Structure 1
Amino acid sequence: MLQPSTLKFLKDLSKNNNKPWFDAHRKQYEDAKKDFESFIQSVIDKYGLKDDTIRDQEAKKCVFRINRDIRFSKDKTPYKNNMGASINRGGRKSIFAGYYFHCEPGQSFVGGGIWMPMPPEMKKVRQEIDYCFDEFKKIVQSKKFTTVYGDLYKEEDISLSRVPAGFDKDHPAADYLKLKSWIAMQSLKDADLTAKDLVKKTITAFETLQPMVQFINRALDNVE
């Protein structure tokens, strides 16, 4: 579970997103960061028993910086209003699919997959879906997967308007081949974040996603 003070800090930050306020509340930030890292480490320690590819990851290396990169953004607010952690085989910046936790009051979620891979990796994932669609379909349309996630995220921001070149436009996997990211997300209420079963709920979500993560990473193992 996360402490209510962590959520309060993020709520207050969203209303006071500026350096003077942040500097004046750095102690609260440090406490919130420590709380979030402790939660993520608990997840790694327990879920690592089920997925040994992430067993050696350290929470502090999985958690994203709270500072925003504003160099090319019209939004010049200096800080993120959330805390996020990417738990991946090979580390947060690896090419492999993995797991993600996003803590943001009113907009939290747990899930994972692979986000905007580079062209060589994207091609491999599409080929694997093409070659093994029956297997992929069983994973993402299983009762367990649909109960937890519903379906993969398929909004326009990560989907092509047409099936990519090299694949039949009437391919039965067309909706999945058009994707540029393969991710699933389960929304979390603020009450979920401070509940005692948050680690258990997160591990259940990761377990449900594991077959898809393994499917994608099997394809990426062959990237030249």
Structure 2
Amino acid sequence: MISQNVLDFLIALEKNNDREWFKDHKSEFRAVETEVKAAYQTLFSLLKTHDEVDAFKIYRIYRDVRFSKNKQPYKTHFGGSISRVKPKLRGGYYLQIQPNNQSFIATGFWEPNKEDLLRIRKEFEVDAQEMRAILEDTTFKSTWGSLVGDELKTAPKGFDKNHPDIDLIRKKQFIFTKNYTDNEVTSPDFLNQVDADFKIIRPYFNYMSDVLTTNINGESLI
């Protein structure tokens, strides 16, 4: 589980985001970092019971400030991602631990390359019925809400702006998120709840994996 110590450290870091304070509290950071790593390992193990995942990565707390106007040296959250076995499975899982009720999970496709993006759009152009059914499923929708992410203001080049599924075709990202309160994060059942929520995304992943591993005629590309 994630203890209150993790959130308390991040709250203190947000108020004292400088190298001197961090140096003086390095032992506290190492303690909560160890706890967080164990939590991500547990989540990875839970996901492996029902999905083919092959690696997880916890992002460093140190910020790259070289090209940023924000020169604070440290992130005020912990973030980590878990990847699925490629090329046959697409999509990935992300968990961010952040105090003040800002923790969340995210999943989907953040930056599909131009070939994948075109393939997805072509699928929607031909038939978006299966995707619509996934999005409108009661359990899915109550857990994950609606698709979020960047999109074009009009139709992509080569697509009809009056197409009935243009709302899907013009998207550039295909992301779902779900937020958690601090009380939920520190509850003993939190990681099991995250795993259960991730499990509900699977019909979407199965659909997108099928699309991205076949051509428009349904022939395998792998």
The secondary structure found in structure 2 opposite 1:124 is helix
For residues 2-23 of structure 1, give each alpha carbon's deviation from its aligned partner in whole angstroms, at most 9, with x where no partner exists.
0110111111111111111111
Give the CA deviation at 1:194: 0.4
Question: Which amino acid is the alignment partner of residue 140 of structure 2?
Answer: F
Pairing of 1:28-107 with structure 2 (within 5 A)? 28-52=28-52, 54=53, 56-57=54-55, 59=56, 62-90=57-85, 96-106=90-100, 107=102
Query: Contact 1:133/1:173 (CA < 8 Å) preserved in 2?
Result: yes
Deviation at 1:178, TM superposition (A): 1.8
Q: Residues 4 and 208 from structure 1, CA distance in 2 versus in 1: closer, same or farther, beyond 3 angstroms?
A: same
Per-residue CA distance 1:144-185 (angstroms, 9 max, x = gap): 11110111115xxx1211121222212232222222111111
After superposition, the CA RMSD in angstroms is 2.0
> What residue ranges of structure 1 are gaps of 5+ in the alignment?
none
Q: Calculate the TM-score normalised by the size of structure 1.
A: 0.87
- Provide the rounded CA distance (Å) in 2 between the counterparts of 1:76 and 1:222: 45
The counterpart of 1:152, out of the listed 147, 158, 163, is 147
Amino acid across the alignment from 2:10 = L
Q: Do structure 1's residue 109 and structure 2's residue 67 form an aligned pair? A: no
1:173/1:37 CA distance change after superposition, 3 Å: farther
CA distance in structure 2 between the partners assigned to 1:130 and 1:34 by the alignment? 47
Q: Which residue of 1 aligns with 2:10?
A: 10
**Measured at CA, do residues 27 and 151 of structure 1 come closer, stay the same or move farther in structure 2, by a change above 3 Å?**
same
Q: Helix, strand or coil: the match of 2:134?
A: helix
SS in 2 for 1:39: helix
For the 8 Å contact 1:110–1:185, the answer to whether it is kept is: yes
Q: Is the 1:152–1:184 Cα contact (8 Å) retained in structure 2? A: yes
> Which residue does 1:185 correspond to in 2?
177
Give the partner amino acid of 2:118.
K
1:142 is matched by which residue type in structure 2?
Answer: D
Alignment match, 2:213: 221
Normalising by structure 2, report the TM-score: 0.88
Counterpart in 1 of 2:218?
none
Unaligned runs of 5+ in 2: 216-220
The residue type equivalent to 2:201 in the other structure is L
* Change over 3 Å in CA distance of 1:171–1:76 after alignment to 2: same
Q: Among the aligned pairs, what percent are the same residue?
A: 30
Of the candidates 185, 189, 203, which is equivalent to residue 211 of structure 1?
Answer: 203
Q: Secondary structure at the match of 2:178?
A: strand
Flag the structure with larger Rg.
Answer: 2
